[in-house]
Every structure is written in structure tokens, then in C-alpha cells.
Structure 1
Amino acid sequence: MEGFATLTSVVDNAFKQAAEDSGMLLGQELTIGEADRIATNRQTYFCDMDDLCFVAEITSSGEFAGKFYTVIGLRDAICMSGYLLGIPPARINEKRRLAIMEDDDVDAFSEIVNQVVGSFNSIFQPAFTNKVHLKVAPPQKFIPETTEITETEPVPDSEYLLFRGRMEMAGQEMGYLDLLIPAPLAELFDPPEVVEEEPAAVAVESDAESEAAPGADDGADESDVTAGEEAAVTVSQAASSRKVLILEDDDGDRQLLREFLASRGYEPIEAGLDADIREILATGGVRLVVLGIHNGDDRDMAVCIKIKSLTQEEALPIIMCAREWTRSAVLKAVKYGARDIIVKPYQPEDVAAKVEKFLRAA
């Protein structure tokens, strides 16, 4: 299939980022291979399906408005949710074999899908100069030959571009991560090249027009160059910003993080959990938050929710840190906006790897 080279590259990068982020969340190395791109339609795609799966609707808002869909096999969903919940591998394999997915598994998988689309956002937004924002709805189960196919379910009847990446995880036989993008939306993301026809004849300018044109062009060029230089400076400043906001009540932990991040060339800004976060963010340039919490109670989660509400358009990554993480605490942290977690006491190399990962993707 010709065209869509830009969109394919973005999807490949999004798959790679989603694998890295999800692998850290699950505590298991996960990779997603480069996507195969296939032209298909709803009937062909779902009629060829012979196993249960989950379909999640992703809404793209902004200048590239529309909906597309990610599809993951049920057994892969059971596997990933099991690792997030800390279920022993032997039990995960048994649940996969018997296709057992309990309520906790469904909740955990929903948070994994949120994480995946958050990773997509971190790639799509800079690739399309912040003209797109992605938001995902809870995944729905599709059972071949059982689930009713309607005008809009499980996806609208349309022509699609299918991007398919193979998932791999040590010790597990994994399937594919599929992305179904309607053809009209794909063309918004990556418009087909327009070949302009050469004019049949070139008009000959009069002497008066020839004399007047350079002066007018010079003025326009000077204005354009000035505007371009200003835009370049703004973009350069934003790209070079390495500000990291540290929100931590423990003075020793806060000092440790500040000194370590500064030694790595970051610009740490520090405050306690009760600080005026709106005022801090209003200074601009913050690209990531390291949030040190106590025990995952409502006060801690309220801080995370506040950060997310103040930075909706920026999709500011939050790394949440605590001395102990239970299964429910991890789910709650991801649900309320954390992109990753760290177990205290802080290990410098662990902090560096996670901070750099998100700043590199931003």
C-alpha cells in the first residue's frame, strides 16, 4: 500500500513507547515489533477473527478529530492483567488456557489500556505539533459468532488501515496489538501527496510589475524570517527545558532527588505535597512530576488528580513513588494519572532511567 509513511513511523514509535511503559508497569520486559500495515474493512477483519478479544475506542480530538480502535486478544489481556495484579505465572497460564477473566482482571486491563493510550499520546502529540489529543473508552469484549455486529459495534462499518505489531514477553506466547484507523482519519494524519500540474504557459511581467515586485517581496520575506526566527526560538526553548517538579514531604528524600537530578543536568523544582501546584506550574517549563506519596490514601491521590486536571492539554507525565505498593495501590495510582511507579528508598539509576524515558518521549 502506497503512502502513509509518516503515520506508519508514528505508529511504530507509539508501539515501542507503549511496550516500554507497559513493561515497566507490569515488571516484565515487553516488546512490540514494527507494525505491518494492511488495508481492510470491518467485515473482513472481524469475520476472520477466531478468538475472543477486547476492542477499545480511542477518540482523537483537536485538528485531527475522529475515532480509531485498538484490539488485543483476551488471553493476552489475561496475561498482562495477571502480571499487574501480581498473580503467580503458573496461575496466569492456567487462566489463559481456560480463558478465565475475573472482575479484578478487567479493571487491571482497563488501566493497562489507559497506560498504552497515554504512551500513544506522548508520541502522537509532538509528531503532529500538539494538534491531537487521544482519550480512550473502557475496552469492550468481542466474541466471534456471538457478539452482535451493528452499524457502530464493535466498530463502525468503514474502510480501515490496520497496523499490527507482534507482542513478545519472556516465557509467554503473545499475540498482536492491532490498531484500526478509518481511512479518512488516516488521511487527516498523513495527507496523500498532491502532484501539481505545471502551468501551460508562464505570463510575462511588464517592466512596471518587475520593478515593483522585489520591494514588496523583500518586506514580506523580512516579516516571514522574523516570525520564523521567533517560532524557532520558542520551539528550541521548549525542547531544551529539563524542568522536573519534585513534590515530596520528606525533607531528606526531597534533597536527595534534587541533588541527584541537578547532577544529571535537570532543573529540579521542589515543594511539599501541600504546595500551590497551580502557581508552580504557572511559571512554565515543567515537563515531568516526581510525586512522593505516603501510603496511597485519598490525600495522596488528590494531589495526582489535581496535577492531571491542571495539565490536561500537556499530558504531563507523573511518576508516583512510595515505600510500599500493594496490588490495589498500583491500580489506584494508574487510574488517577500516574504513568509509572517507583519503590522507595529512591535508587538513583532507577529514577534517572524513568525520568529520561519520559522526557525523551515528550
Structure 2
Amino acid sequence: MNQQKRIDKVLDAVETRIQAEVGALLGADFSLGGGERKLVSKEEAFDSLQGKQICAQMDITGEVTGKSCLLIGIKDAILLGGTLIMLPAAELKEVIGREEYSDEIEDSYGEIANIIAGSFTKDFEELYPKSCRFVRKEQEILLPVKVDIDADTPVANGTYYQFVSSMVLDGHQMGNLVLLMPAATFELQDERNKEQPSKETVVARSESKPVAGEDSRQDTLTETAVAKKPPAVAKFDVVKHQKKINRLLAECQARIEKEVAILLGTDITLSNLENRILKKEEFFEDHVSGRQVLADMEVAGEGEVKSYLAMSVKDAIHLGGKLIMLPPAELESVVSAQDFSVDARDAYGEIANIISGVYTAVFEEQYTEKLRFIRKELRDIEPAKVDVASTEPIPDTTYYVSSVSIAVDKKQLGRVHMLFPATLLRLADEQEETAVPEKEQHRSAEKESLPPAEQTAGRTAAVSTAGGNSAARPSQAEAKKQQKIIDKILAACRDRMAEEVSALLGTEVTLSNLENLIVGKEEFFFDEVTGKQVIANMDVTGELEGKSYLSIGLRDAIRIGGTLIMLPSSELDSVAAAEDFNEDTQDAFGEIANIIAGVYTAGFEEMYPRKVRFIKTGLQQVAPMKVDIADAEPFPDQDYYLSRMDLALGTHGLGKIHLLFPADLLQLDGLRGGSDGADNEAGVSTSAAVGGGGPASGQEPGRAAGGDSSGLLDILVVGDDDAEARKIAAVLGESGYAIKILSFKDNLHGFIPGKLKAIYLVMQEVNEQAFGVAIKISSACSVPLIAAGPGWTRTKVIKAVKYGVRDILLTPASQEDIRENINSNLLEMAA
């Protein structure tokens, strides 16, 4: 019989015996199972453990000898020991929470360890051909991350057969019971570690022997070379070290969730932990938007090193308000107003103290170096106004950023970010951090050789003056960078506009499928809008001056204004159908336009580096087909950055809202191309239909309306299930695809076939209307069509395939289901 199979048969019997004997000792239902057995190195064994462990050393005596050890998490050891001495449930829970491994509990767990050692002895004596006994020795509390691999404690550095089994006590899932058995003692060979001759040895053996008389000289030269050779230095394994750090951060997440929940007396959920290396610029441009609260955390004993805790102001107010027990209505009000009062700030400071304490505890317990995090000041920052080259609010260096999503009482908030200098965690080389790229050195030298006046001119060349906004046209690369900033602001304004207009009208206003793109005047009036429009002029004042415009369909303007003045629903339907935009309705809509102007003023003041205000100055009605493009009315013929979104009042879907900003005003005129040799393309857009302000990370901008609108698109998502469509679009965006979301009512022919890779048909119900759209798509192109919907039956699937559907996605679908569908239909097809 294979030796490993023989050992496994013995271990199966041991597992059964431990269950029975420990269960009988405790007077409780105790079970083991679901573990694994494999050969591991000492380093691999301790790398797989997390948190404090109770290690019971075991001597193996008899015909075979060696040293083994039994490992179990400290909380599990306390639970077993406390159960044996019959601690009351409340007291047991308390000592487990404090990880209080008292002498009494140590003794009682020692008895259980004796039983386990005895179980190994009995079954090995009965079933193994060579006699051996397992004798339990001393216990110790150890931290796996601090175990010296080269030392002989708790076991020597070598190969072990690892026995792992999951424990359950009275239905309560515990951690793992782990036993390390020396592989050599039980004649188990680790094929991975069999010694292979080195390349140098092979070469030496292949060479001919030295001629007579040269042997002694050869020996002397070899000895000298060996003496001069410096000792080998073990290479630091960054990948393995990063995995250890990630395990510590997962432990921090679990503890923060628990301790903040206890402090607030409410349910806290932290999820979607992501750890990544980021530069300062990447963090502030791509990972946060809107006002943030930054808590400085000084790292004790590390000089001037600091880590930073970042969270949106709204979320900080929400947490602080919970701690000081603000009534729900008042809490909602101060969060909406971003009123970070002294009381709320102090309360959030207490929460930040708890969080810093968790990081300190985990890193002191489980990291190779003791790191203490001491919370210092809280600062409000605007990501869009951060100067990357400055040392404020954080130095320009590389950070290891640990981010989690937070929910309070099942209400989903935003993301919380902890930024550690990468060098602090040994995830970056300090020399790399201080090195200046060669190109930058040359640029700096050239700059210093210029006269001061020319240096100043260089700095201000790309910045428009307050009066006329005259500026050098930005390159396409510069414009795309600026576009990211603007898109974040527009997404935040969209969300705030929905909140404030809803509050004003007393009904829910939904603004969805946000898209931002460059258009000309002709494109806007001939391709973007149909039917009469109401245009609100908005003067732009402050450090930038100009005009922007709010455009909405006349009937939608009447519905919004009529809702504000509380027209009965029948009368509202009548005046909207008759396009009766009377004085009262105009005044009411004007108030809403004032609110919208205020929203964009607040958004740009908070998030844009320059102070800008939007002031509503007048309303005008326009018939798009009658607009003279060459005329300056209703606005000049130039490039605009258009922000458009779908509007719904309550459950009633209306048309689109359009906001137009002169492209040069926002330094986005370079998006048209041409300044750095790029093609002069029209209609370059970013879609936020997936629920955010800009494209998903890694997503290329896709072209939307106007002209060849499918030119840069990869995927069309067509349907009447908005929630599922946005979910699918979000996952596609994360995979780097350019997406466009359309409804069943939209004209599809402007988008197909183009260069599309696939079309997703997303249905609330799998019915004839949906199949009609499928027929329309499959008859117009041969692009793979994937149908997503609920309640699929065999008949419906057959019918879908008949009408050109390539694959089915059952909704509601998880992100994992969607990714799997993408992989099978797009990645495999591309391969």
C-alpha cells in the first residue's frame, strides 16, 4: 500500500476517535471533518494560519521518533476549555471576546489536548506497522506571522504532513484543528523538495578531469573562491509578503465591523475588500469623488510616516450622527446638507480612534514589526482640488490602499479607504520611491535654465484667464484627464439634483443613464432632441465666465412645473398634451431651473479647482428644426460638453434632460482631437449609465449620439429592465468594454451592426414584445445576441434560439453569473 494512503487510513480512524472522546469529555456534540491532508514546509504551514494560536507540542516516541505540534485558534481553545469547566454562556462569550486565556482555561484545554494526543497514540499503535506514541508537552500562545522559520521552535524547519480538520461544537462552526507530523518520521517524501543537481554541478561533472599535477592547484583555487564568495542572502518575496498583509487587512475588516457596530449599537457591514497599489494621483482621480474626510494616522516609531483613513463627508456625518443618536429625519437632513457640525465631527473622531485601535491591535499581534497607528487631525478635502505635486493632504508617493464598502442598518453607504505608504509595509522599494524618472530630470534641468518670466509663462500657458477664458487648446490626452474630473462632478450633480428636485416637488425624481459627450450645435438640435424644447440660460461667473444651457422637452417642463403648483393629474395631462406652457407653469419651472443651477454651483464649488457659479437668467422655447445653426440664438455654434440623462417622475418615465457647457470653458475642447495628431472625431462620450459618474475603471470612451454612433461601442445593452441592464453594464465596464444602454423604444438601427462584439437583450418578462426586438436585431446583423430575463421555460428557450438568441442569462443575475456569461460569450469567442 502507498505510504500516504496508509497514513490517511490511520488519520481517518483518529478523526473518528477524537470526535467521540472529546464529545464524551465535554458532554456535547463535537464533530470533525471537511479538512485536508498534504505535505507542506514549515513556512507554508504557518503561512496558512491566521490570528493567535494555541500550540501544544507533542513528542513522538517508540520505534519512530520526532516532534509534532497541535495548533488551534485561541478563541476555539477558550471555547473548548470553557465548555469543559462549564462556564456560563454569557461569561464564556465575554472571555472569548477578550481572548482571555486564563490558567484555569489553559489547564482544561490541556486535558482536551491530552485526549487528542491519546487518540493519535491508540490508532497509530493499532493500525501503523511501527509502534509510536504521541506525548503532549507544553503549551504556548504564538502568532504565526512571528514564527522564526529557521528556528527549532515550535518545530524544526522541515517537511511536515499537515492534518487539518474543521471543528463544530453543538452546531456552532469553529475553526480548524491542525496537526503537523514530521514527514521523514513517517517515511513520507515530498517530491517537490527532492534535491536536484544544480546547473553548476552538472557543468562541472561534464568537464574533463584536470591533467596530472594540477589537482592540488585546482583544490587551492576552489578553496580560495569559496572563501571569498559572500554569504547568500535570501531574496525577499514581495508576492508572498503581500498575501500576508492581505490576510491581516481581512482580519482588520472583520474586527472594525464588530467594534464599530458595538460602539454605534447598530448593524454595520463591511464588504468587497480590495487592496491595491496606487499612486497619489490615481487615488484622488479614480477612486474618490466629492468632499472627503481624511483622518491622519501617525505610525509610532516610524519617524514622520503617516497612514490615512478616507471617507466621504456624507458617510462620516452619517456615522457620527448615529453615534450621537440624531433622530432619523434630522440625520437625513444634515447628511443631505453635508453639515459636518462640531458634534458630528467629534463623534466621527471617536469612530476613527476605534479604527486606528483595530489596525494597531492586529499589526502588533500578527505583523513581524510592531506598528501603532495614532489618530491625529481630521481634515476636509476636495479630491478635484488636490495638487498631486504637493505634500498636502498626503505626500506624492505610492500607497497600499485597502478599501471596503460600508452599510449601516442595511443602508448602503460608500467606500472607506485606508492608505498605507507602500514602503511601510515593505511593498515598495524606498529607492524606487525617491528616484526621479530620467525624463523628469531633463525637464527639470531645462526649466531651471529658463529665465523666471519664461518659467511663469510655462506654468500659466494652459490656464484660462478669468475674463475671457482664453487658453491654449489642450491636447487630447490632457482633455481626457480633465474629462475624468468633470465627469465625476457631473455624476455628483446628477445625484444631488435628483435629491433636491424630489424634495421640492414632493415626489420621487429619478435621473438615470447619465452620459457625457462632446457635440456641436447642429448635432444637438438635429440628432439629440426632437419636438419643442424649453431652454434655460445659465450665466457662468467667477474665475470662469461664459454661458451654459439647460434643455428639456416642452411637455416635460410643463409636467414638472405643473407638479410643483400641484395641478390635478387630469388637468396636468391635459395641459401637457396641449403644450400649454402658461405663466404660472413657466414660473414654477423657472424655480426648478434655479434649483438645478444651484446644484451645479455647489457641485463645482466643492469639487472643481476653480470657483464657478451658475445663475439662471431666462427661459426660451425653441423648435429644433427651425434653429439657424449660423445664428447666435438660442446659443452660439461651437463645441459643447453635453450631459444628458433620462427623467422619471414617480413611476412615470418622461424624456431626457440636457445640460450643455462650452467645451473650451471646461478645457475639454481637446476631446475633438487634432491637437496631438489624433483623428478629428465627433461625439466622443463617456457613459455613466452603469450608475457612476464616468466610465468604469479601464473602460474606453464609447461614441454615443450623432453620426456613426456605434463607432467606438463594443456592447449594446437593450431592454426594459433598467436595474438588470445597469448591473450587466457595470460588469461589462469593469472588463474594459465600451457600452451603450438603450430601451426597447429607442432606434437601434443607428447602432447596429457597427463594430459591436455582442448585444444583451435585458427583459423584465420573457414575452412576445421582447422576442419582437430579438427578431429585429437578428435580422439586421449577425452580432451574438444574449437574452437576459426571468422565468425561462424550455418552450421559451427554443423560441429564443429560433429568433437568433445565442445564449441565455437568468435574471436576477449575480455579478459572478454575469462575468461567467461574458467569459463564455466574449472572451472565448475572441480567443
Q: Max radius of gyration: which structure?
A: 2
TM-score by length of 1: 0.49
TM-score by length of 2: 0.22
Relative CO higher for 1 or 2, CA cutoff 8 Å, sep ≥ 6?
1
Which structure carries more helix by proportion? Answer: 1
